[in-house]
């Protein structure tokens, strides 16, 4: 086990502290990218659940990359944090010509205190040239590619109009891992296309992907999305906070203990969130998950296959 038993799961903060020797925080940036499901290449309007403004505070008021990085670093310095990962967060951050990508990534790495990059992208947007660029940069610094897996079930990927299937995800992650680049997967639990049994069973498929880290999100409905329209017309069941706590406890038990946990719930901005509205905050939910694992004398990976 890579984490102390009292943590009950492999916390991202614990991983970062061990890797970099001190606290490291992410500085999120919006570099003005788009996605193939938005620009007409694979569709328009994006994946049905997605509204970047719900999680990306810089989305409404895009400043230059330099301004965003400088402001982010200044904010963290006030909290005595001096090491940073620049997080290319909004939209698909490998979806541009390699020359443009290289310039952006290297510029971000030039800032004092920056120890690496986290790059959010889709499995179908890490082609040969992009991978070769990332591989070069990864030789001298830390890169974590954050890949939107979202579901291991093709019926769900079709329903949300991702524009790729799970086999594409498996192949992309295998290629990236061959280059020894850190991979974090984004995963959503709660789609009405999946039963609870299928959701829990997905942990086994996730374990086989050989990813290094994961962000687990509950499905929520945010404003200005196709999903909001679907939900308004025919509402479906979403997880309550206690149901989510129970599901995550069971999910963590099935997840390989070597996978770093970056998130255990979604975190939509309040003014964009339609449902579910929980009366527990993030801190209370995380603490309830930990307490429940302890009460079961259990931990991440306790039942992993
Ligand atoms: S979920 Fe990701 S790939 Fe889909 S539209 Fe949103 S940012 Fe683009």
Per-domain residue ranges of the chain: 5-295
The gap from C-alpha 134 to its chain's centroid, in whole angstroms, comes to 19
> What integer pLDDT is reported at residue 61 of this predicted model?
62
> What integer pLDDT is reported at residue 62 of this predicted model?
66
> What integer pLDDT is reported at residue 63 of this predicted model?
85
> Topology of 5-295 in CATH?
pyruvate-formate lyase- activating enzyme (3.80.30)
- Phi and psi at 254, nearest 5°, equal -90, -15
Which pTM value belongs to this model? 0.96
- Kindly give the parts of the chain with pLDDT less than 70: 54-62
> What integer pLDDT is reported at residue 60 of this predicted model?
47
Pocket lining for ligand 1, CB < 6 angstroms? 35, 37-38, 46-47, 50, 52, 91-92, 122, 148
The gap from C-alpha 261 to its chain's centroid, in whole angstroms, comes to 10
Residue pLDDT, tens place only, 17-75: 999 999 999 999 999 999 999 999 999 999 999 987 766 655 446 689 999 999 999 99
Comparing CA positions, the residue from 239, 240, 289 lying closest to residue 261 is 289
Q: How far is the CA of 27 from the centre of ligand 1 (A)?
A: 20
Residue 226, SS3 per DSSP: helix
Instruction: Decide if 221 contacts 233 (C-beta within 8 A).
Output: no
Q: Whose CA is nearest to atom 7 of ligand 1?
A: 91
């Amino acid at each position: 086990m890579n984490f102390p038993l009292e943590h009950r799961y492999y916390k991202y903060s614990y991983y970062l502290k061990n890797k970099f020797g001190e606290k490291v925080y992410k500085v999120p940036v919006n570099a003005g990218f788009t996605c193939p499901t938005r620009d007409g290449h694979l569709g328009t309007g994006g994946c049905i659940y997605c509204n970047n403004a719900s999680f990306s505070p810089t989305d409404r008021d895009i400043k230059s990359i330099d301004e965003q990085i400088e402001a982010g670093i200044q904010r963290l310095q006030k909290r005595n944090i001096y090491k940073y990962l620049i997080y290319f967060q909004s939209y698909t951050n490998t979806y541009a010509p390699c020359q443009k990508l290289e310039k952006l990534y290297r510029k971000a790495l030039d800032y004092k205190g920056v120890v690496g990059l986290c790059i959010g992208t889709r499995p179908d947007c890490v082609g040969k040239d992009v991978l070769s660029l990332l591989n070069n940069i990864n030789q001298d610094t830390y890169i974590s590619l954050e890949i939107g897996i979202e579901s291991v079930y093709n019926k769900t990927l079709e329903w949300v109009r991702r524009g790729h299937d799970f086999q594409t995800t498996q192949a992309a992650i295998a290629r990236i891992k061959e280059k020894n680049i850190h991979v974090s997967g984004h995963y959503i639990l709660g789609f009405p296309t999946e039963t609870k049994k299928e959701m829990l069973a997905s942990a086994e498929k996730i374990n086989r992907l050989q990813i290094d880290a994961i962000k687990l999100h509950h499905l929520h409905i945010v404003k200005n999305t196709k999903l909001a329209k679907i939900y308004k017309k025919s509402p479906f069941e979403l997880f309550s906070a206690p149901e989510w706590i129970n599901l995550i406890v069971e999910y963590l038990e099935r997840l390989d203990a070597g996978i770093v946990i970056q998130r255990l719930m979604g975190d939509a901005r309040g003014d964009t969130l339609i449902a579910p509205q929980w009366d527990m905050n993030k801190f209370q939910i995380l603490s309830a998950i930990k307490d429940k694992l302890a009460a079961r004398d259990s931990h991440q990976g306790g039942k992993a296959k």
